[in-house]
């Protein structure tokens, strides 16, 4: 795939999911699901681990945390993190951003993702 | 010019699992600890993440995380009548050289060795009589018991995130676990890994044959986990790049992401990397050690680091080498059978069959380091009567996968040409259809299998290389035949389309190809200074402020991977130093 084609595909994927409605999640259950992420991601500002800090993730452009070495794929993905885009990403990280560095196969259950995102909406502020 | 540094409480030589555990524990107890490591500092964040990983050429072919043989290696021979030659490329075994040591690139298989090993001579003599053990088989009891080590096994399993299923909880046999294991106080911290097709097929066949399959316990976190020290693990992603690689998912229990970073945050601890210890220094009367000498390998500067306690925590082979170079204890002479340092080098043996099933898809690229089912019916099962078969020791049999890589993994039925278009067609046809059943077998000590300093060859520091003399004996050949028969019977019952049968090895050991990084012995533990180099606390009989930690203290090698007891013994030694030695420095066991 050329770079342009990849950007187009990512944008198309982003637009496609903007329209889907998501069920509201349970932040308490979501905190437990965050254990899937916690070996690499913190919620503290500036505390990057194997993955970037998730502090203030919502509304941020993908690949935008200072001092973190992102994959070229993530940097040019054109994604802005919203509950919708994050849901799509966590469901299939390599599907949405092929070639990104996150070694996580994905969270299969929609309800689990909704819970996780509800937790992140509270805890990443 | 040698710069003499300020005195510290403890100097740790080598920072892998044992050095990391001891450094963390002793720094937390208030001692000032300096660790000296040959390799470089590497981290999950910068080194074991894309695009620096999943690179078979770099890590497997070019040995990126391993010891550099241009600087130091071994000379090897099969028996004392041969002239030993230097091993100029790593092959049969792969010692790590990096912060984290071989604990970065291991697969995570974590076993509890039992009294079957620790009382090996007593057990066999009691059951089969003294004559059952050949005269030249220099096995001995270890001077430690399973009961003493049990809490330390648990501590290591909980630190390293071992996934598994208990088979014996406090004496009660547990369904689905290993019924032959010694009683454990607690289950594993994590449930077993998700089984794969190959391990399930092996389990079914083994069960049908009357054996007792169980999931192999491995330090591959089956789900996210926080260990008692607060280290967070991710769940294993079954990426297929485990053995030889650092883990990108923080799912493999490794010292560089558990004990070492905790030590690093402690102001009592300091790490010096790219630093090569050439010698342990002694007092003039030889009764104590005074510290170590080392060279910064980046610029050649030489240092002396004085210390009250010296802990040798390098790879097993390198610990023995340092003892020989430093003249601590009497070198072992296999002819006169005097001395102890260098005695009882042991390795492992095995046999394997490859089974091909047309129409099956094993997805060999997708697995964890421990995606394997195992039977111990011929291992720690003392109910298995060795008498009629005439061998001492044991083997375990496993079915499954661990790290089948795109360049090197090319299973083809025997008879396939080794190159050319027919070979290419065969690799494409059979790649998805193959699985392996293999046995890992113990090696008993033999008086001629040992280490000493080579009379001819020297390393980059002008010091003699260590010479390894090793070959398999009739005991191992007999066990190999038994193992091959068991494997072939299980394999035949599975009705594969084709099979490359297991064959017992009878050829001499060589340095190629890769066999196992489970080298043991050389500075063995025991009950008295005549037969051993260290006591049950891994404390030198000669110099009480020197501890030698690692598989180098094992008086023989079992069929199991060694890291379980290596980790447990490190915690056990840390406890002995903290609770006994520091309060009252001196021999912890009367000679």
Instruction: Map out the domains of chain A with their CATH numbers.
Output: 25-123 (1.10.760.10)
Cβ-defined contact of B49 to A104 (cutoff 8 Å): no
Class of residue B368 by CB neighbours under 10 A (exposed 0-12, middle 13-18, buried 19+): buried
Residue B518 is a catalytic residue? yes
- pLDDT for the residue B450: 98
Selected residue with higher pLDDT from B221 and A16: B221
pTM (predicted TM-score): 0.94
pLDDT, position B45:
87
| A36 vs B45, B51, B235: nearest CB | B235
Q: How close B187 comes to chain A (CA, Å)?
A: 21
pLDDT at A82 over 50: yes
Q: Which pLDDT does position B445 carry in this prediction?
A: 98
ipTM of the complex: 0.79
Cβ-contact B454, B425 below 8 angstroms? no
pLDDT above 70 as % of chain B = 100
Nearest to B237 among A38, A50, A103 (CB): A103
pLDDT band, residue A67 (cuts 50/70/90): confident
| Interchain CB distance below 8 Å, B237 and A39 | no
* Chain-chain contact of B50 with A103 (C-beta, under 8 angstroms): yes
**What's the pLDDT at A1?**
47
Say whether pLDDT at A79 is over 70. yes
Alpha carbon of B313 to those of A9, A68, B261, B554, B566: distances in Å? 52, 34, 17, 14, 10
Q: Looking at beta carbons, which pairs linking B233-236 to residues 24 or more positions away fall under 8 Å?
A: B233/A39, B233/B161, B234/A36, B234/A37, B234/A38, B234/A39, B234/A40, B234/A103, B234/A104, B235/A36, B236/B163, B236/B193, B236/B368
Binned at pLDDT 50, 70 and 90, residue A17 comes out as: very low
pLDDT value at A19 more than 70: no
Q: Which of A39, A67, A73, A90 to mutate to test the interface with B (most CBs of B within 10 A)?
A: A39
Residue A3, pLDDT > 70, answer: no
Chain A residues whose C-beta is within 8 A of a chain B C-beta are 35-40, 48-50, 69, 71, 101, 103-105
pLDDT tens across B148-174, in order?
999 999 999 999 999 999 999 999 999
Q: Kindly name the residue from B256, B518, B544, B556 that is annotated as catalytic.
A: B518
The per-residue pLDDT for range B494-531, each reduced to its tens digit, is 999 999 999 999 999 999 999 999 999 999 999 999 99
Binding-site residues on chain B for chain A (CB distance < 8 A): 44-46, 49-51, 223-226, 232-235, 237-239, 248-251
Give me chain A's average pLDDT, please. 87
| DSSP count for chain A of H helices, then E strands | 6, 0
For residue B576, pLDDT beyond 90: yes
Give residue B503's pLDDT: 97
What was the pLDDT predicted at B574?
A: 98
User: pLDDT at position A4, please?
Assistant: 58
Residues B360-418 pLDDT 10s: 999 999 999 999 999 999 999 999 999 999 999 999 999 998 899 999 999 999 999 99
pLDDT of residue B50: 83
Which residues does B86 contact at the CB level (< 8 Å), separation at least 6?
A: B69, B73, B74, B75, B76, B457, B465
pLDDT at B118 over 60: yes
The confidence score (pLDDT) of residue A16 equals 47
Chain A: give the shortest CA distance to residue B403, in Å. Answer: 16
Q: How far is A37 from chain B (nearest CA, A)?
A: 7
- Nearest-CA distance A105 → chain B (Å): 6
Nearest to B250 among A50, A71, A101 (CB): A50
Residue A104 has its nearest CB partner, among B49, B223, B237, at B237
Do B566 and B538 contact (CB within 8 A), yes or no?
no
Structure-token pair, residue B141 = 């009891």
pLDDT digits (tens, 9 = 90+) for B429-467: 999 999 999 999 999 999 999 999 999 999 999 999 999
Mean per-residue pLDDT, A49-64:
95
* Beta carbons of A103 and B239 less than 8 Å apart: yes
pLDDT for the residue B437: 98
- How far, in Å, CA of B223 to CA of B205, rounded? 28
Residue A18: the pLDDT is 47
Q: What's the confidence (pLDDT) of residue A5?
A: 58
Q: How confident is the model at residue A7 (pLDDT cuts 50, 70, 90)?
A: low
Task: Quickly tell me which residue has 């088989």 as its tokens.
Answer: B137
């Amino acid at each position: 795939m050329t770079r342009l084609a990849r950007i187009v595909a990512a944008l198309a994927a982003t637009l496609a999911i903007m329209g889907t409605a998501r069920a509201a999640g349970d932040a308490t259950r979501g905190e437990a699901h965050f254990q899937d992420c916690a070996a690499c991601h913190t919620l503290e500002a500036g505390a990057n681990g194997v993955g970037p800090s998730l502090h203030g993730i919502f509304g941020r452009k993908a690949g935008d945390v200072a001092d973190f070495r992102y994959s070229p794929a993530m940097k040019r993905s054109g994604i802005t993190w919203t509950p919708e885009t994050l849901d799509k990403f966590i469901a299939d990280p390599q599907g949405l951003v092929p070639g990104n560095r996150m070694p996580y196969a994905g969270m299969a259950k929609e309800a689990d993702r909704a819970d996780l995102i509800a937790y992140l909406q509270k805890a990443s502020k | 010019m040698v710069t003499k540094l300020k005195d510290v409480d403890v100097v740790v030589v080598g920072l892998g699992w044992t050095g990391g555990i001891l450094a963390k524990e002793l720094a937390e107890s208030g001692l000032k600890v300096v660790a000296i490591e040959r390799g470089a500092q590497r981290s999950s964040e910068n080194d074991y993440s894309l695009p620096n990983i999943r690179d078979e050429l770099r890590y497997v072919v070019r040995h990126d995380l391993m010891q550099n043989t241009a600087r130091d290696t071994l000379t090897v021979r099969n028996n004392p009548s041969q002239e030993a030659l230097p091993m100029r490329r790593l092959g049969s075994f792969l010692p790590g050289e990096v912060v984290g040591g071989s604990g970065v690139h291991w697969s995570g298989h974590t076993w509890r060795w039992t009294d079957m090993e620790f009382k090996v001579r007593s057990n066999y003599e009691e059951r089969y009589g003294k004559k059952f053990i050949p005269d030249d088989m220099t096995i001995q009891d270890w001077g430690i018991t399973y009961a003493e080590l049990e809490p330390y096994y648990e501590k290591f399993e909980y630190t390293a995130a071992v996934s598994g299923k208990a088979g014996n909880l406090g004496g009660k046999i547990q369904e689905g676990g290993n019924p032959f294991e010694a009683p454990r106080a607690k289950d594993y911290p994590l449930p077993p890994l998700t089984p794969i097709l190959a391990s399930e097929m092996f389990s079914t066949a083994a069960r049908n044959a009357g054996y007792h399959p169980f999931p192999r316990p491995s330090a591959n976190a089956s789900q996210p986990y926080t260990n008692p020290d607060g280290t967070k693990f991710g769940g294993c992603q079954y990426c297929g790049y485990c053995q030889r690689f650092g883990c990108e998912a923080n799912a493999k229990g490794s010292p560089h992401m558990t004990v070492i970073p905790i030590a690093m945050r402690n102001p009592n601890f300091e790490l010096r990397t790219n630093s090569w210890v050439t010698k342990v220094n002694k007092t003039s009367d030889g009764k104590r050690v005074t510290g170590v000498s080392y060279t910064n390998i980046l610029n050649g500067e030489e240092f002396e680091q004085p210390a009250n306690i010296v802990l040798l925590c390098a790879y097993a082979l390198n610990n023995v080498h340092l003892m020989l170079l430093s003249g601590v204890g009497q070198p072992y002479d296999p002819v006169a059978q005097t001395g102890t340092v260098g005695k009882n080098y042991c390795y492992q043996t095995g046999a394997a069959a490859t089974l091909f099933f047309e129409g099956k898809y094993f997805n060999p690229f997708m697995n964890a380091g421990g995606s394997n089912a195992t039977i111990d019916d011929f291992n720690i099962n003392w109910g298995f009567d060795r008498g009629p078969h005439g061998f001492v020791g044991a083997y375990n049999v496993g079915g499954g996968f661990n790290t089948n890589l795109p360049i090197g993994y090319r299973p083809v039925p025997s008879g396939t040409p080794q190159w050319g278009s027919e070979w290419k067609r065969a690799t494409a046809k059979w790649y998805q259809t193959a699985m392996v059943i293999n046995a890992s077998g113990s090696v008993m000590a033999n008086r001629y299998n040992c280490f000493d300093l080579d009379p001819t060859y020297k390393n980059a520091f002008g010091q003699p290389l260590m010479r390894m003399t090793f070959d398999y004996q009739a005991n191992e050949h007999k066990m190999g035949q038994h193992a091959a028969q068991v494997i072939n019977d299980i394999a035949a019952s599975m009705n594969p389309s084709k099979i490359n049968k297991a064959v017992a090895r009878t050829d001499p050991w060589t340095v190629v190809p890769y066999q196992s990084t489970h080298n043991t012995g050389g500075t063995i533990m025991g009950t008295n200074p005549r037969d051993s180099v260290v006591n049950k606390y891994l404390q030198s009989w000669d110099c009480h402020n020197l501890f030698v930690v690692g598989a180098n203290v094992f008086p023989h090698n079992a069929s199991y991977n060694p890291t379980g007891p290596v980790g447990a013994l490190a915690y056990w030694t840390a406890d002995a130093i903290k609770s006994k030695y520091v309060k009252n420095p001196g021999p912890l066991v009367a000679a």
